[in-house]
Structure 1
Amino acid sequence: MDRITWPRLRDDLASTRRGAAAFLQNLDAAHTTSSTEWFIRWIEIGDAHGILGNAKRREGKIDEAAMAWLCALTAFEVAKRLTTETAVQGEDASVKIASAIKTFGSLEQKIECVQIECYDQSEIQAHYLPADSCSKAPAIICISAEDETATTLLGRLLPAAAHRGMSVLAVTYDDISGNRRGQSNETLSCCLDYLSTRPDIDATRIGVYGDGIASALATDLAVSDSRVAAAVCDGGLWNWARTRAAVEWVTGVSEAQNEEVIAARRLRLIRRLRCPVLVMAGGRGVVSISEAIRLQNACAAAKMDLQLGIPRTTITDVGEVENFVISDDRIFRWLEQKLLLGSAV
C-alpha cells in the first residue's frame, strides 16, 4: 500500500467526501488488501459517524447530527461499492443505508414521502428533500437507474445534494417507465406539475437528472416539456444508438455514411433540447464515451450548451468500481450553477 492508507474518521462532510474520493481514486494501489477488509473498515467509519450523530441529536445539535449522518451515508455507500451484487456484505450495507436515511429523515422531517397524482389518476410515490433556504428554491427531479430502489438512490445522492440550496424529488425508474409510448414523459410531467405548485419551489428553475438508462428518460422529458431548465441526460445518444443498430439489423449492412452526415443527425437530435445539458458518459451510464465526445465537439462548433462528464473507475477484485463521489459532486455542482447561480461551469 504505497499510495493508499487506511481511511480515517473525518469530522465534516466535505472532508469525508474528499477522503472517500481519494480512497476510490487510489483503489488500484490497494491490491494487497482485500475488498472485504476495506468493506469492514468503511462500515466501521459509517457506524462511528452514526454514533456521533446520535450523540449530537441528544445534545440538541440537529444540524451537526444531520451532518454526521450524511457522512455515514457516504461511508456506507463506499462499503457497498466494495461488494458484489450477490454478496451478503452488500445486503448489510444496504440495510445500513436504509437505517441512516430513516434517521436522517427524522431530523426535523428533512425527507418527505409524497404521493404524485398522474394524468391517468394513478399515483407514484416519491421522496422529497427540501432546500435549506425557506425562499423559492430550484428543484431537481432525480430518476434512479433501472436496478436502483428509491433507498439506493437517496443513499448516494443525499450527501451530494445537501446544502446546495436546491430541493430534490427522487423517483424510481420502474415507477416512471411504462410500456405505453409517451407514458414516462407524462409521469415526469406530473412530477413537474407537483413541484411547480409547491410554494417553496421556483417553477422556472426545475432540472432533471436521469441515472443509468434513466438518462434517456431525462432527455425525453427535456425535449417534450419546455419547463425543464437543465438536464443531466444522455443527449439522445441512447435512442440514436438503438436506431442505428435497428437500421443495420434490418438492412443487414453497417451504416457507411460519412461523419458529417452522422454529426448532422446528432445535432438534429440535440437541437430539440432547449436547455443546458450535461452528458455523463461511461461508468454506470449507458452513453458511449466516443459518441459523447463527438456530440460534444459538434455542439461546441454549433455554440450549444452541452458539457461532458466522464466518471473515473478502477478495476478491483469485485469488478469495476466507479468513483461515485467525484461523479455525483460534479453533477450537482453543475446543476447548482445552472439552476441556482445561472453561470457557466
Structure 2
Amino acid sequence: MVAECLLVAGRLDPADYADSWHREWTGIADRSRERADAAFARGHVPTAQGNWLRAINYYQASMFALDDGEKRKAALEAMRACARRHIAHLAPAGEVVEIPWQERRALEGYFLPASSSGRTPVIVCMGDPGHYKEEYLFKVARHARERGLSLLAVDLLGSATDSEFGEMIGRPGLETSVSSVVDYLTTRDDVDERRIAVLGDGAGSSFVARGVALESRFAAVVCDGGIWDMHEHAFLMNRLSPAGTEGGGFERRWPVRRFHCPVLVTMGGQGWLESGMVADLFERLRARHPGISLKIFESSETAAAQGHCDNPTLANEFIFDWLADRLEAVPA
C-alpha cells in the first residue's frame, strides 16, 4: 500500500539507517499480520488474506539493509508463517511441498492448485539466489489462478533460515534444481505433465535457462534465455583477450544444447543491459534456437525498469497470456 510505504519512509533515520529501516518495516509488517489474524478470527478471510500478503512484502523489505543474522532469521520466519497461513486458507488450499535436490539439501515450495479438478497445467516460478518464494504469492499467484493454471513457487534456500546469498550463488549445479522440480511434479496426480511451464524470475535468470537447456519436459519457458551468461562471458573475454583482438566465441560456450520448447525473453528498456546489447545477444541466440522470442518494454509503456519493477502487473499480464496460449496449444 503506497500510503503505508510513505509512512515508513517518513520515519527512517538517515543517521541510523540500517536499524531504522529494519525497525520501521518490521513494525508495519507486524501491524499487518496482527490485523490479518484479528480479521481471520472474526471470519473475514479476504481481509486476512490481503493483510498476510502485505505482511510478507514488508517482512521481506525489512531484510534489505540487514546484516544481523538473528534479525534476518526472525524476519524470514515471520514471513514464512504469514505465507503458510495465507495458502492454507485459499480455495482450493495450497500446500507446502519438499522437493529432493542435492545431498542434504531439499527445495521447498508452495503448490497452489488450480480451481478446476483433474490434471491441470502448472507454472513453476523460480527466482535467482536471494529471491524468496514467498514474494511470488503476491507477485504472480493471481495471474496463474485467473487463467486456470496451477502454480509452484520455489526458491533455492529450502527451509533454511541462515543461507546467505553468497553461499547459494557459489553453489555448483544450480541448474540441476530445474529437473528436480519437474521430477517432483510428474509424481503428482493433479498435474498434466505434458503442460508444465517455468518462469525464471530475477535480475538474470540464466541458471533457469541452463536448466531448461538440459530438460525436454517443458511446454513453454519464460527466462533470460542465457543472455546474462552471454553478457558475462563477453565481458570476461574482452578483459582477458590481448589488446586489439576480438573477444568473440563466447556464444559458442552457451548454451551447448538447444531449447526443446518455445522460450520468451522479456527485458526492460531501462534495465541493467542496454536494449541494443540485448537485441544483439538475442539475435545470436535465435540463430541457434528459432523458437525463442523477445519482448522489450520501453519507457513509453512502463515495465521498462530492471525486472519490470516499475510496473510488474503489465509485464506479468503479457507473460502469463503468452504462457497460457502455449499451454493451451498442447493437448491435455
Same topology, TM > 0.5: yes
2:264 matches 1:277: yes
Q: Normalization by structure 2: what TM-score? A: 0.66
Alpha-carbon displacement from aligned partner over 1:43-63 (angstroms, at most 9, x marks no partner): 454333323321232233444
Q: List per-residue Cα deviations over 1:169-216 (Å, max 9, x = no partner).
A: 30307789853xxx5444421311221332222323322233447611
3-state SS, counterpart of residue 208 of structure 1: strand
Point out the more displaced range, 290-299 or 202-211: 290-299
Q: What are the equivalent positions in structure 2 for 1:66-85 lying under 5 Å apart?
A: 66-81=49-64, 84-85=65-66
Report if the CA contact (8 A) 1:212-1:286 is conserved.
Answer: no
Equivalences, count: 297
1:162 to 141, 154, 170: 141
Question: Is residue 264–residue 292 contact of structure 2 (8 Å, CA) maintained in 1?
Answer: no
Cross-structure match for 1:55:
38
Which has the higher mean CA deviation after the structures are superposed, 206-215 or 219-228?
206-215
Higher relative contact order (CA 8 A, sep 6+): 1
SS of the counterpart of 2:67?
Answer: coil
CA-CA distance at 1:325 after TM superposition:
7.0
- Of 127-136 and 243-252, deviating more is 243-252
Q: How does 1:80-91 map to 2 (within 5 A)?
A: 80-81=63-64, 84-86=65-67, 91=72
Aligned-pair identity (%): 20
What stretches of structure 1 of length at least 5 have no aligned partner? Answer: 1-5, 10-19, 314-321
Secondary structure at 1:8 match in 2: helix
**1:117-155 C-alpha deviation (Å, 9 max, x unpaired):** 45x887623212213413343323333433x2xxx6123
Q: TM-score, normalised by structure 1?
A: 0.64
Q: Does 1:291 align with 2:277?
A: yes
Query: Could you tell which deviates more after superposition, 218-227 or 166-175?
Result: 166-175
- Give the counterpart letter for 1:170 in structure 2: V
Mapped to 2, the partners of 1:49 and 1:31 lie a distance apart of: 18
Tell me which of 3, 21, 25 is aligned to 1:8: 3
Distance 1:276 1:42 in 2: 37
**Aligned residue number for residue 311 of structure 2:** 326
Counterpart position of 2:108:
126
Superposed counterparts of 1:1-345, under 5 Å = 7-8=2-3, 34=13, 42-81=25-64, 84-86=65-67, 91=72, 93-107=75-89, 110-117=93-100, 124-135=106-117, 136-146=119-129, 148=130, 153-163=132-142, 164-165=144-145, 166-172=150-156, 179=172, 183-212=173-202, 215-248=205-238, 251-253=241-243, 255-256=245-246, 272-273=258-259, 274-280=261-267, 290-295=276-281, 304-308=292-296, 312=305, 324=309, 326-327=311-312, 329-330=313-314, 332-342=316-326
The residue matched to 1:206 in structure 2 has which SS? strand
Instruction: Please tell me whether the aligned partners of residues 136 and 153 of structure 2 are also in contact (alpha carbons under 8 angstroms).
Output: no
Aligned equivalents of 1:249 and 1:300: distance in 2?
26
Q: Which amino acid aligns with 1:278?
A: V
Q: CA deviation at 1:159?
A: 0.8
What is the alpha-carbon root mean square deviation over aligned residues? 4.7
Pick which of 156-165 and 136-145 moved more: 136-145
How many angstroms apart in 2 are the aligned matches of 1:41 and 1:240?
40
Deviation at 1:228, TM superposition (A): 2.2
Q: What letter is aligned with 1:292?
A: V
* Cα displacement (A) at 1:80: 4.3
Deviation at 1:78, TM superposition (A): 4.2
Paired with 1:7 and 1:116, the residues of 2 have a C-alpha distance of: 36
Equivalent residue of 1:228, what SS? coil
Aligned 8 A contact 1:142 1:168 in 2: yes
Q: CA separation of 1:105/1:312 partners in 2, compared to 1, >3 Å: closer, same or farther?
A: same
Alpha carbons of 1:96 and 1:239: their partners in 2 closer, same or farther (altered >3 Å)?
same
Quote how far apart the aligned CAs of 1:102 are: 3.8
CA contact (8 A) 2:265 2:292 kept: no
CA contact (8 A) 1:277 1:306 kept: yes
Cα distance in structure 2, aligned partners of 1:225 and 1:303: 15
Report the Cα distance in structure 1 between the residues aligned to 2:71 and 2:305, rounded to whole angstroms: 22
Q: Which sections of structure 2, spanning at least 5 residues, go unmatched?
A: 158-166, 298-302, 328-332
Question: Matched residue of 1:170: which SS?
Answer: strand
Amino acid at match of 1:306: L
Quickly say closer, same or farther: Cα 1:282–1:211, change in 2 above 3 A. farther
